[in-house]
Amino acid sequence: MAVKKVVKKDQKKNLELVLRAVSELYPFDRTSPGIVLSYLKNENFYVSLCRYSGSFGNGKMVLLNAQGDTIDTALAELISKWQGRKNAANELGVEAI
């Protein structure tokens, strides 16, 4: 069975921008921020944008989260929430994603 590409090209670009932006917002975290994907028992996908205050993934803090019936839907919701953050682009001195 062939593996289907799940993340669309534009979403991939937006995910990269979100991860870079959150890394720039928290440059002194001991573990780099990341996106966690989970499949829930209710057959939804859960996506969270997390940062960590400790080394090796300790001290996890969820900044944003979203759910969807597909990974694409959940990621799109997470990206939309990030884009909706007030002054996010201004904080970074970059164009809004």
Residue 78: name the closest of 68, 91, 88 by CA. Answer: 68
Length of the chain: 97
* Residue 88: pLDDT band with limits 50, 70, 90: low
Q: What's residue 96's pLDDT?
A: 44
* Residue 8: pLDDT band with limits 50, 70, 90: low
Rounded to the nearest 10 degrees, how much is the dihedral formed by the CA atoms of 59, 61, 33, 18? 180
The pLDDT of 3-18, averaged and rounded, is 67
For the chain, give every domain's residue range: 30-86
Residue 69: name the closest of 90, 36, 47, 48 by CA. Answer: 47
Of residues 78 and 94, more confidently modeled: 78
Q: What's residue 53's pLDDT?
A: 85
Please give the distance of CA 5 from its chain centroid, rounded to a whole number: 18
What is the value of pTM for the model shown?
0.69
